[in-house]
Amino acid sequence: MAALGSFTVILTVFLLILALLLPFFSPGSDLPWPAASLAVVAVLLSLLLWRFRRRDSETDRRVCVMVLGDLGRSPRMQYHSLSLSKHGFTVTFVGFLDSKPHQDVLKQEKIKIHPITEVKGLRGGPKLLTYVTKVILQVVQLLYVLLRMETQAHILMQNPPGLPSIAVAWFVSVLRGSRFIIDWHNYGYTIMALSHGERHPLVRIAKWYEHFFGPLAHHNLCVTNAMKDDLQKNWGIRATTLYDRPASIFRETPLKLQHELFMKLADTYPQFRSDWSEESAVQVERTVFSVRDLSDDTVTLRAERPALLISSTSWTEDEDFSILLKALEEYESFIKGGASLPSLVCVITGKGPQKDHYMKLIDSLSLEHVKICTPWLEAEDYPLLLGSADLGVCLHMSSSGLDLPMKVVDMFGCCLPVCAIGFNCLHELVKHEENGLIFKDSKELSEQLKSLLSEFPNSDGRLGEFRRNLRASRGQRWDDNWDQNVLPLFAAS
């Protein structure tokens, strides 16, 4: 069926070109060739439009969810896809397949993943030419993918990245009669400005681009009320705030699952291995954090265990991990200076362009009481690790000051207290001295680590208080939040 559709498109385009060229090959004819050609063009364009807008009984239940990025590292778009499928929509999930999406997405029959390739542009020549060719190739690829698939009632895309996907998705939605929805996670031009500067020509073009094409969407979603207000005031866009909420998979991890995860990680990462080697009358299985009694299968946490600190990142310019590394060095100095503090195992998860840079900095550190590892976790293991940790750290510095870190949302779903670097609208998520602490630099972070972990592993201190507050204040989960704010946009169209 797809091959027949492709043949129809190619044949129509060929006849369209032929009609346009026909007058040039009949100079001596008395027929009104321009008028005839225009008539043929009009007919062929109508046929082409009919072909692209052709609908069937299932069209109204089909949605294309698109992100010009890695599907496995796009949790919000995965959640959109799952929510749509639960309500009977058939989802075509388009994006890069660099890392595996969650099993729930892979197992859902109504979600079909359509992987696209990340294009690089020309390898040689000026950077501007490389970027331009990359955009052109992405336009061709996206048009090819979107026009080949069956007619979708809706196209829901993530921004950023939005260049060139916003324009392409809008054009296809016009051509095919689809409803176009943008989910604003941030502004692409502000992210580009981190590496190029606000006055760079590419940044200015990207800003114009988002301002021009953004208002063309039928509906808009955004992640904070601050962004909703900014879109309305400066962009003329009316958006619905859809706060990130943790999915049901994010919860406190039972002790047995904690131990199984620690054992699994210990196979690859020595930071999780126990160095305890004394013989025991009871056969036991140990990690640096936990002990399993094999005689009765009970699991307990070790009294002298290190604290488990976790941070996740995309290793990009909007997260300065030197702040955390300096704070860990200062924490080490507290212990060497005689402070009664636990050792730390700091786990930093994620992939991204600046990882190699920070790995060199980590390797250069000389730490005795702080151990750092940087695993890439399977989608199923990440929530288990969050639910096993003692404290989370977030270094996300919003490029626009208008978005919120989803990693903190997931941590809160696991009732994991957080230390987060401050920016304009962070108060919409992190309540200082209630569910975590907000810091401004490495010195303040190190003091917060010292304060929160001074009574570890006793749960009566501030860290335990924050965790109890998170347990008591559990709000909406993703499903209820989505059903309330997003489902009406699809049901009413």
User: Over its length of 493 residues, how does the chain's per-residue pLDDT go in tens digits?
Assistant: 444 444 455 555 555 455 444 444 445 545 455 555 555 555 555 555 555 667 778 889 999 999 999 999 899 999 999 999 999 999 999 999 988 899 999 999 999 999 999 887 667 777 778 888 889 999 999 999 999 999 999 999 999 999 899 999 999 999 899 999 999 999 999 999 988 899 998 899 999 999 999 999 999 999 999 999 999 999 999 999 999 999 889 999 999 999 999 999 999 999 999 876 554 546 889 999 999 998 888 999 999 999 999 999 888 888 899 999 999 999 999 999 999 999 999 999 988 888 899 999 999 999 999 999 999 888 889 999 999 999 999 999 888 989 999 999 999 999 999 999 999 899 999 999 999 999 999 999 999 999 999 999 988 889 999 999 999 987 778 999 999 999 999 986 5
User: 412 near 470, Cβ under 8 Å?
Assistant: yes
Q: Cα-atom radius of gyration of the chain, to the nearest Å?
A: 27
Sorted by sequence, the CB contacts under 8 Å of residue 201 that are 6+ apart come out as none
pLDDT given at position 34: 56
CA distances from residue 397 to 163, 190, 291, 410, 426 in whole angstroms, order as listed = 22, 12, 38, 17, 10
pLDDT given at position 40: 54
- State CA 188 to chain mean position distance: 14
pLDDT given at position 32: 54
What CA–CA distance (Å, rounded) separates 371 from 361? 14
Tokens encoding 120: 């690089």
The closest of 258, 245, 227, 266 to 400, measured between CA atoms, is: 227
Rounding to the nearest 10 degrees, give the CA dihedral for residues 444, 449, 451, 452: 130
pLDDT given at position 166: 96
pLDDT given at position 473: 84
What CA–CA distance (Å, rounded) separates 78 from 239? 20
What CA–CA distance (Å, rounded) separates 53 from 59? 10
pTM for this structure?
0.81
User: 453 near 341, Cβ under 8 Å?
Assistant: yes
User: 137 near 119, Cβ under 8 Å?
Assistant: yes
The closest of 35, 39, 36, 41 to 17, measured between CA atoms, is: 41
Sorted by sequence, the CB contacts under 8 Å of residue 278 that are 6+ apart come out as none
The closest of 399, 391, 381, 400 to 420, measured between CA atoms, is: 391
User: 131 near 123, Cβ under 8 Å?
Assistant: no
Tokens encoding 308: 């488990």
- State CA 410 to chain mean position distance: 12
User: What angle do helix axes 75-86 and 478-485 make, rounded to 10 degrees?
Assistant: 70
pLDDT given at position 31: 45
pLDDT given at position 128: 76
